[in-house]
């Protein structure tokens, strides 16, 4: 296992010579993504404030960038890239399936309660 690291990221776009070099490369990638997120968060460009599938476009960008970051942390820092396919699928798909299920149910319900409140059949501010 020790020397069997896969040394390319971004589908082979960037190849590293050693595992240590790959770690620093991934750090740079993660730092760039975080910097972009913070810059978007501070300046909030007006053009990204449009609604897209129930949420602001900017929020979708934040969530996608977060998942990209999570991917690189899991794949390169936790060495998921080097594990067998079976172990990888067992861990990743189980979690993704259950989390998506949970999020769908809770957000759906939260949105429904919001419509009940905002239709003013129920008064909660006295």
Partner 1 sequence: MDTTVANTGTEGKTWGGGNEPLKSSYGKMMMWFFIVSDALTFSGFLAAYGFSRFKFIGSWPIADEVFTHVPFFHGNYPMIYVAFMTFVLIMSSVTMVLAVDAGHHMQKSKVTFYMFLTIIGGLIFVGSQAWEWGTFIKGDYGAVQTKGGNILQFGEYKTIDGDKVFKRVAVRDIAIDAHGERVQHDRKSGLWFVSEGALPAYTVDEVYNGLEANSNVLVRTQAINAEGEKTVLSRAESLKQIKNNGKLVVEGANLHVNEYGTALFADFFFFITGFHGFHVFSGVLINIIIFFNVVLGTYERRGSYEMVEKVGLYWHFVDLVWVFVFTFFYLV
Is the CB of 10 or the CB of 111 nearer to partner 1?
111
Question: Distance between CA atoms of 55 and 49, rounded to whole angstroms?
Answer: 9
Helix 19-43 × helix 57-72 angle, to 10°: 160
Does 3 interact with partner 1 (rule: CB under 8 A)? yes
Q: How far is the CB of 27 from partner 1 (least distance, A)?
A: 5
**Residues 74-103: x/- map of binding to partner 1 (CB under 8 A)?**
x-xxxx---xx-xx---x--xx--xx--xx
Burial class (CB in 10 A: 0-12, 13-18, 19+), 107: exposed
**Residues 22-41: x/- map of binding to partner 1 (CB under 8 A)?**
-xx--x--xx--xx-xx-xx
């Amino acid at each position: 296992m020790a020397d069997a690291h896969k040394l390319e990221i971004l589908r082979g776009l960037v190849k590293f010579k050693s595992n240590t070099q790959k770690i620093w490369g991934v750090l740079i990638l993660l730092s760039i993504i975080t910097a972009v997120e913070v810059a978007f968060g501070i300046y909030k460009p007006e053009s990204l404030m449009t609604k897209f599938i129930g949420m602001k476009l900017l929020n979708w960008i934040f969530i996608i960038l977060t998942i990209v970051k999570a991917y690189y942390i899991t794949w390169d820092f936790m060495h998921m890239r080097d594990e067998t396919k079976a172990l990888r699928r067992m861990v990743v798909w189980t979690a993704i399936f259950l989390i998506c299920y949970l999020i769908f149910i809770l957000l759906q319900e939260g949105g429904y309660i919001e419509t009940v409140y905002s239709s003013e059949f129920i008064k909660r501010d006295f």
